[in-house]
Structure 1
């Protein structure tokens, strides 16, 4: 059974309309969303993804629904890592909080475009060069090791952006102050770019770096272009609201990078095993498929993704809670008893 073309077209049209509506809402009503508002929007987008998976199940079958659900969970987990860098970017460039919704919305649109390009390129490479799965798998295992290293990798992402920002400042005139959400402003009669252009470039570079990690990962779940693209869109659509919902909580999720490292490592191994199944390299098993390599099922992938994020989050919150309880005791130690 295949996914009907009419369903693919209808789904993409609806998703585009939702994105346009979200963009207009942010543009016409810039504000700082409350925790309640952010929660409702996150629930809405998660519910939308689950409804989409349900429709896939009834229209195209359980295999496609399972692949989408697992791909969406994977991309959603990896997208949360973006939020840490977004926080650093917003702080570094002193973006007013009331403008952060618009910055994030533009960043999400940039991410969708970049990932769309990566997906099309990835599918073309896979169709013509199956050994790419070995490369994807090895790259994700290496990324997992780097992710598990002591914290500071996010600062490394920002340093890479700083190089591009410095290059941008040398090429164009940029004002010192924001002018609302505008990209262009007038300072003493001279037209200049506002710092918003730097923020957008920094967000775009971040999205590019994360697309390099996440797109190979989802190809371990499915090579269906429609499912890969929709899983990415659904994962990114709720990211803006999640940013405001988590807020200061991000600082407390200290072990989250370990959970993401486990996911990336697992997916990397899964890709290498898949590469062994479709092996065509003459210097490996004489160019024959390696049938004894285990094929990791979709349900196990979904279990590992959810469990890794859940355990990392719970462990982070427990550690943070213990630290907060210890802090008053360290500030006001009890007097010694005689």
Structure 2
């Protein structure tokens, strides 16, 4: 248990240090994040994720303190890894376990990173609807990510507990993902709008809190005549948090199709969330160019859902974690290339 505690505690400390550096050193309240800086930070976060993949590949067994064949066999059963293990080759089994765990992590990371693109579409709409200045994007997204990490942590371990107690929940997750994928495809051409005046969160906040009608720089709260008000910027933060909660309902079941290990689910989720902010600034001005990405994400969710529904047959047809990753990458690459080769036609105004 000591190695498990060290592994998880080290990860949490690393995340806290990186967030502190991001807030203290890499943010400027006076100007928006440049595309060059966003590209650099995206590369950094992807490099961290790949480094973590290497760490799990070599030392993943420490995560659950797997120090004997009996422990390896039990964790193989508990987390549904379905690895063929030889009781006379513990070293070989341990290597296979670490390799599989690392592959589950990187596949889950790719799935979550891809699904977070849909978040970007909506976040852009929210910022535009509320006329938030670009220089305030970073602060809102930073605190939005803090909230997202906390919510994902709760979602993941509740989901893992449900799966461990009721295996049929996986089929429920699968059916839900297929439904979500189909609905996303059917609504791909539907124009999404955010109405600042009639938004549910705005109405709720206006009913129970004192809301200042105007922005006050990058402040979430202002005090006027000894009375505390929340600013429109804080309302934007609340809306983004609720939006992420809605997206988590899709993304958490999706990653459970890749791995049932709650720690791997958590690690891959967090790395994807941490990379979301830099990816947002990288894509914010060109996101509309990837108009086939919605179809790609719909296909991705449908594929993952069907894989969960056919869980008893995927191994028989060779659809293991590695092959699933290849399918997922193919879906994403094809949707991006199609968007670039066949750009969206602009409507001509009369």
Going from structure 1 to structure 2, the CA distance change for 1:237 and 1:25 (only over 3 Å counts) comes to same
Judge conservation of contact 1:143–1:264 (CA < 8 Å) in 2. Answer: yes
CA offsets per residue over residues 74-120 of structure 1, 9 Å max, x none? 00000111000000000111111111110111111111111111001
Judge conservation of contact 1:147–1:153 (CA < 8 Å) in 2. Answer: no
- 1:1-338 superposed matches below 5 A: 4-25=4-25, 31-60=31-60, 61-151=98-188, 155=192, 162-187=199-224, 190-274=227-311, 277=312, 294=317, 296-320=319-343, 323=345
User: Following superposition, which runs of at least 4 residues in structure 1 exceed 4 angstroms of deviation?
Assistant: 26-30, 156-159, 187-190, 290-295
Could you tell me how far apart the structure 1 residues matched to 2:309 and 2:156 are? 19
Could you tell me how far apart the structure 2 residues matched to 1:240 and 1:292 are? 36
Going from structure 1 to structure 2, the CA distance change for 1:227 and 1:134 (only over 3 Å counts) comes to same
**Structure 1: which 5+ residue stretches go unaligned?**
278-289, 332-338
Going from structure 1 to structure 2, the CA distance change for 1:197 and 1:221 (only over 3 Å counts) comes to same
3-state SS of 2:222 partner: strand
Judge conservation of contact 2:108–2:265 (CA < 8 Å) in 1. Answer: yes
Q: RMSD of aligned C-alpha atoms?
A: 2.5
How many residue pairs end up in the alignment? 309
Could you tell me how far apart the structure 2 residues matched to 1:20 and 1:230 are? 19
**Structure 2: which 5+ residue stretches go unaligned?**
61-97
Task: Give the superposition deviation at 1:18.
Answer: 1.2
When structure 1 is superposed on structure 2, of 140-149 and 310-319 the one drifting more is: 310-319
3-state SS of 2:210 partner: coil
Give the structure with the higher percent helix.
1
CA offsets per residue over residues 179-238 of structure 1, 9 Å max, x none? 122222145665322112211110011010000000011011111111111101100111
Judge conservation of contact 1:88–1:158 (CA < 8 Å) in 2. Answer: no
Judge conservation of contact 2:188–2:295 (CA < 8 Å) in 1. Answer: no
Could you tell me how far apart the structure 1 residues matched to 2:168 and 2:318 are? 17
- TM-score, scaled relative to structure 2: 0.81
3-state SS of 2:216 partner: coil
3-state SS of 1:192 partner: strand
Could you tell me how far apart the structure 2 residues matched to 1:13 and 1:190 are? 37
CA offsets per residue over residues 282-310 of structure 1, 9 Å max, x none? xxxxxxxx899756300121112111111
3-state SS of 1:248 partner: coil
